[in-house]
């Protein structure tokens, strides 16, 4: 069983209160960059170092902002921006392709204090889908927008729009071509505006497949005021068809926040949607379960029993936790007074 609990400082335990340090130090952040069959020896040293560096930079950006008094909303958006811009992750640039050969992006964000939420699905031309999700929360009367309507709203909100080819990466393209071939479907034409084709190492494709083409990104932050915000951004699953939407933009499935709990998920969305994973973890915790017990019940028992795979990062009153039933999950956390934790494999902290 791979469930990892962050250490909680003695002061906190002694006082029986979360993060009982001085006000400005009362913050926490946890993030993921996807889960899957990521095992030691799969990646060469340089690739592994690049992932660790990206996770470390992201968690430090978020922690520094929180320590400077930034709101959890601003922090979640800013940290997800950097991960959406990083082609290693399946969000924004570097997102996976549909079987039709384009990138369709999903994202959501939720604020715990008032349980306001915004979500978008199937957007093809918004550089930072998390910002569009935030705009839905802040500037629309709705919770979830999809495809052309969401893109129209993005234009109305003056968000940065890009051509779909902006999201193109060779390795994600090659991975989709391989999947589409296996499915017996026609290989879609290379998108207009994509760079010249480059050879991709078969080993890199194998790794991506074992990663399940995961690489979805998610952040949960609590700021000094106690506000919890959770956000998630993804390209979905490789070679998805028919306008498929996963759990990431579905409030309660891939993202959830209340005044006491925040969750961002990654994994095969079809399971996370049916199990309403993110909301149920918070419901268990608010009903009196410890975070460990809630994660055991939902991830290790229910998700696993259903045959699903993936994991979550959560913030509860005693700080960050994570849980996954895959061999690895790209992840990081930081709380005041502790060094940031950056991990990939199941046998790490
Ligand atoms: N949960 C995402 C989806 O199903 C994929 C992932 O997390 O890798 O769309």
Residue 2 lies in a domain: no
CB 26 near ligand 1, within 6 Å: no
Q: Into how many domains does the chain fold?
A: 1
Pocket test for ligand 1, best of 216, 230, 255, 275 (most atoms within 8 A of CB): 216
What tokens appear for 235 in the block?
Answer: 């390209």
What pLDDT was estimated at residue 41? 80
Residue 17 lies in a domain: no
Residue 9 lies in a domain: no
* 216 among known catalytic residues: yes
Q: What is the CA radius of gyration of the chain?
A: 19
Residue 151: CATH number of its domain: 3.60.20.30
Residue 8 lies in a domain: no
What pLDDT was estimated at residue 37? 78
- Residues 338-345: what's their mean pLDDT? 96
Write the burial class of residue 203 (CB in 10 Å: 0-12 exposed, 13-18 middle, 19+ buried). Answer: exposed
- Residues 27-45: what's their mean pLDDT? 89
d(CA 321, CA 274): 23
Residue 162 lies in a domain: yes
What tokens appear for 343 in the block?
Answer: 């991990």
- Residues 106-120: what's their mean pLDDT? 98
What tokens appear for 284 in the block?
Answer: 């268990």
Residue nearest to atom 9 of ligand 1 (CA): 236
| Residue 17, pLDDT above cutoff 50 | no
Higher pLDDT, 271 or 15: 271
Residues spanned by the domain of 113: 27-345
- Residues 289-307: what's their mean pLDDT? 97
| Residue 181, pLDDT above cutoff 70 | yes
Residue 73 lies in a domain: yes
pTM over 0.85: yes
Residue 133 lies in a domain: yes
Band the pLDDT of 24: cuts 50, 70, 90: low
| Residue 14, pLDDT above cutoff 90 | no
Residue 3 lies in a domain: no
CB 267 near ligand 1, within 6 Å: yes
What tokens appear for 344 in the block?
Answer: 């990939």
């Amino acid at each position: 069983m791979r469930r990892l609990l962050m250490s909680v400082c003695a002061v906190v335990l002694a006082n029986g209160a979360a993060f009982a340090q001085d006000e400005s130090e009362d913050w926490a952040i946890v993030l993921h960059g996807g889960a899957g069959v990521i095992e030691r020896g799969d990646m060469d040293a340089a690739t592994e170092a690049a992932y660790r560096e990206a996770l470390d930079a992201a968690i430090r950006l978020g922690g520094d902002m929180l320590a400077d008094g930034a709101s959890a909303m601003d922090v979640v958006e800013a940290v997800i921006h950097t991960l959406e811009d990083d082609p290693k992750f399946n969000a924004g640039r570097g997102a996976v392709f549909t079987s039709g050969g384009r990138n369709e992006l999903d994202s959501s964000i939720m604020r715990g204090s008032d349980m306001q939420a915004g979500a978008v699905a199937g957007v093809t031309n918004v550089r930072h889908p998390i910002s569009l999700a935030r705009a839905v929360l802040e500037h629309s009367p709705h919770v979830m927008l999809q495809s052309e309507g969401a893109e129209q709203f993005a234009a109305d909100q003056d968000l940065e729009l890009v051509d779909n080819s902006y999201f193109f990466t060779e390795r994600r393209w090659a991975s989709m071509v391989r999947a589409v071939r296996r499915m017996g479907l026609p290989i879609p034409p290379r998108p207009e505006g994509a760079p010249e084709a480059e050879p991709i190492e078969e080993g890199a494709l194998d790794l991506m497949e074992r990663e399940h083409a995961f690489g979805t990104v998610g952040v949960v932050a609590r700021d000094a005021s106690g506000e919890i915000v959770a956000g998630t951004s993804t390209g979905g699953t490789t070679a998805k068809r028919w306008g498929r939407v996963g759990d990431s933009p579905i409030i309660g499935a891939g993202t959830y926040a209340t005044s006491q709990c925040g969750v961002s998920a990654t994994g095969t969305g079809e399971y996370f949607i049916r199990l309403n994973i993110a909301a149920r973890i918070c419901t268990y915790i608010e009903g009196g379960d410890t975070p460990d017990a809630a994660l055991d019940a939902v991830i290790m028992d229910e998700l696993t029993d259903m045959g699903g795979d993936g994991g979550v990062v959560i913030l509860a009153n005693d700080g960050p936790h994570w849980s996954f039933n895959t061999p690895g999950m790209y992840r990081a956390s930081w709380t005041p007074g502790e060094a940031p934790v950056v991990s990939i494999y199941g046998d790490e902290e």
